Amino acid sequence: MEAVGPAGPDNQQRIEKRKFPNRPGGGQKRMRREKKKPVKEGGAEEVLEIDIKNLLASQPETPETASVQLPAPFTELELEVIQLSSIGDGLAVHEGRAYVVPFSLPGDRVAVKVIRHADTHTVVDFLKVVRPSPDRDDSLIGCKYFATCSGCQFQMLAYEKQLEHKKQVIVNAYKHFGDFPEGLLPTVGETIGSPLKYNYRTKLTPHFDGPRRGGFNPDMPVPEIGFNIKGQRKVLDIEDCPIGVDSVRSGITDQRKYVHENLTKYKRGATILLRENTVRTVDEQDPTKFTEEKTFITDSNAVSTEYIGNFKFTSPAGAFFQNNNSILPTFTAYIRDNLSLPVSADNSASEPPKYLVDAYCGSGLFTVTCGSTVQKAIGVDISADSIAYASKNAEANGITNASFIAGNAEKIFADIDFPGSETSCIIDPPRKGCDQLFLDQLLEFKPKRIVYVSCNVHTQARDMEYILKAEKGKGYRVDSIRGFDFFPQTHHVESVAVLTWVGDN
């Protein structure tokens, strides 16, 4: 295992931006770079930029001269990939310049075509493998659209290697997106894999583009229906997606046919919702047995039903719910087990908390699956619609000790009347992470145990730094950090950090 190390001077400065020489006026137009756009904090652009800065800083110094020219767009090159970025693309260095190479692995020598130049790097199109990496195994590829579709990055990489990479993504996030003194953080645990590597996604949203004006007419060709081509805004026509569960895959076929037959009804392009719905019928003779019928829903306002083990959840089909049911029993059990409060300094003994606060509770996934272990549970969300479904889900699953509050963002803990010292708190924010207002209220409440679930480990690392450095957060100890792989074949990783209040010492 690799421990999360100290930030160090270089990392604290986020590695000084590498400067490129001024180019002569001739050819300036054809070497024009993209205009700098605002970078979303913790977003893919910032993550890639930091990966590139660290990669270039690790390379031997090479003399830079004004005669070095950026290759013109559509120039073909051969590059040696030396690193896998946190967003799933390979990184290569050519004449002191970083190149972002999709669908590649460290050790690959690849033929590429230059697409565009950004301030910090050049984006290229993957053409072919000239010499494969020892880690590349193209026999593993399970989709004919791989290496064109933007959805997956790792189908040519053994699953064990995917999990290793995702662990390293978490290590790097805490190294570069937070400033932590040496020894403050535990070693990052091994990433927990998904039982299903394909056929796991219960929701897909293929789309198609429409004419700029006037809508479709009968003489127009049927547009491409699918997902974006990697690095382009063009849609790739996709007839099947093996990442989806069978019901959703059948929905692709069905909805493609519907669009073909009803094209003139569309005034513009559209996104097609495909969400699995499960109807479970219990055997009258043996209540422990049941059959399930899986269908798909296309109406975002229709109610979909999911079963996580023996727990039943309903929510609007267009609302957020985790998209990989196969890993959820393991995941929710892990969260439930880590709510226990230590009663010894070395964590060798623990006891269940009396109370549970499920912040950002949504439709109640954690309140329902973890609520039976506490005397009282409260789910909090700023969405009244989410709270309504969370209440229904608790009732449907016989959770009688749970209540739900549509909280005001400015006083989200105001109506919680039990002591933080006997409470565990789950926080599961959106990709942007928690805002300072929420974190300050969390630290004021001071729960004994915090389980921070994140779909973006980079904003999680930022928030963890804030918690641990805040005056009211200095008594928290980080007990564990580890990843869960909800999305095999892609670069995404869910991260869970567990903190315990141990006091001012």
Q: Report the binding-site residues.
A: 322, 360, 381, 428
| 455 catalytic residue (yes or no) | yes
Report the pLDDT value the prediction gives residue 349, as an integer from 0 to 100: 67
Question: Which residues touch 341 (CB under 8 Å, ≥6 apart)?
Answer: 350, 351, 352, 353, 422, 424, 448, 449, 500
Q: How confident is the model at residue 398 (pLDDT cuts 50, 70, 90)?
A: very high
**Looking at residue 352, what is its pLDDT?**
82
12 versus 196: the higher-pLDDT residue is 196
Kindly report the CATH number that applies to the domain delimited by 32-52+72-155: 2.40.50.140
pLDDT bracket for residue 348 (50, 70, 90): low
Which candidate in 143, 425, 434, 455 is catalytic? 455
Least confident range of 14-23, 133-142, 263-272, 493-502 = 14-23
pLDDT higher than 70, residue 13: no
Between 274 and 408, the more confident residue is 274
Taking residue 192's Cβ as centre, other Cβ atoms within 10 Å add up to 18
Architecture in CATH of 161-196+324-501: 3-Layer(aba) Sandwich (3.40)
- Confidence (pLDDT) at 141: 99
Is 80 exceeded by the pLDDT of residue 56?
Answer: yes
Listed residue (122, 128, 41, 52) closest to 86, CA to CA: 52
The rounded distance, in Å, linking the Cα atoms of 168 and 162 is 10
The pLDDT assigned to 346 comes to 66
Instruction: Look at residue 4 in the predicted model and tell me its pLDDT.
Output: 44
Burial class (CB in 10 A: 0-12, 13-18, 19+), 150: middle
Model pLDDT for residues 417-468, shown as the tens digit of each residue: 999 999 999 999 999 999 999 999 999 999 999 999 999 999 999 999 999 9
pLDDT at 287: 81
Please report, rounded to a whole number, the percentage of residues in the chain having pLDDT higher than 70. Answer: 89
Q: Do 161-196+324-501 and 32-52+72-155 have the same topology in CATH?
A: no
The pTM score is 0.90
Task: Lowest mean pLDDT of 121-130, 136-145, 333-342, name the range.
Answer: 333-342
Is the Cβ–Cβ distance between 488 and 436 less than 8 Å? Answer: no
Average pLDDT over residues 387-411: 93
Lowest-confidence region among 12-26, 49-63, 367-381, 471-485: 12-26
Bind-site residues for S-adenosyl-L-methionine: 322, 360, 381, 428
Q: Estimate to the nearest angstrom the gap between the alpha carbon of 386 and the chain centroid.
A: 21
pLDDT higher for 351 or 374? 374
CA distance 182 to 56: 24
> Where does the pLDDT of residue 41 fall: very low under 50, low under 70, confident under 90, or very high at 90 and above?
confident
Residue 408 pLDDT > 70: yes
Token pair of 460 as six digits: 């999680």
Residue-range domain boundaries for the chain: 32-52+72-155, 161-196+324-501, 205-308
Which helix H or strand E contains 50, and what residues bound it? helix 44-58
> Which of 427, 463, 432, 455 is CA-nearest to residue 180?
463
The pLDDT mean for the chain works out to: 90
Q: Please state the rounded mean pLDDT for residues 145-169.
A: 98
pLDDT for residue 231 is more than 60: yes
The residue-averaged pLDDT of 217-234 equals 94
- Choose the weakest-confidence range: 2-11, 187-196, 311-320, 338-347: 2-11
Please say whether the beta carbons of 176 and 50 come within 8 A. yes
Q: Assess whether pLDDT exceeds 60 at residue 373.
A: yes
pLDDT higher than 60, residue 17: no
The DSSP code sequence of 57-71 is HHSPP----TT--PP
Tokens of 388: 């309504």
397-406 average pLDDT score:
95
The token pair at 105 is 């692995």
Residue 335 has pLDDT above 60, yes or no: yes
On the CB side of 357, how many CA atoms lie within 13 Å of its CA? Answer: 30
pLDDT for 145 beyond 60:
yes
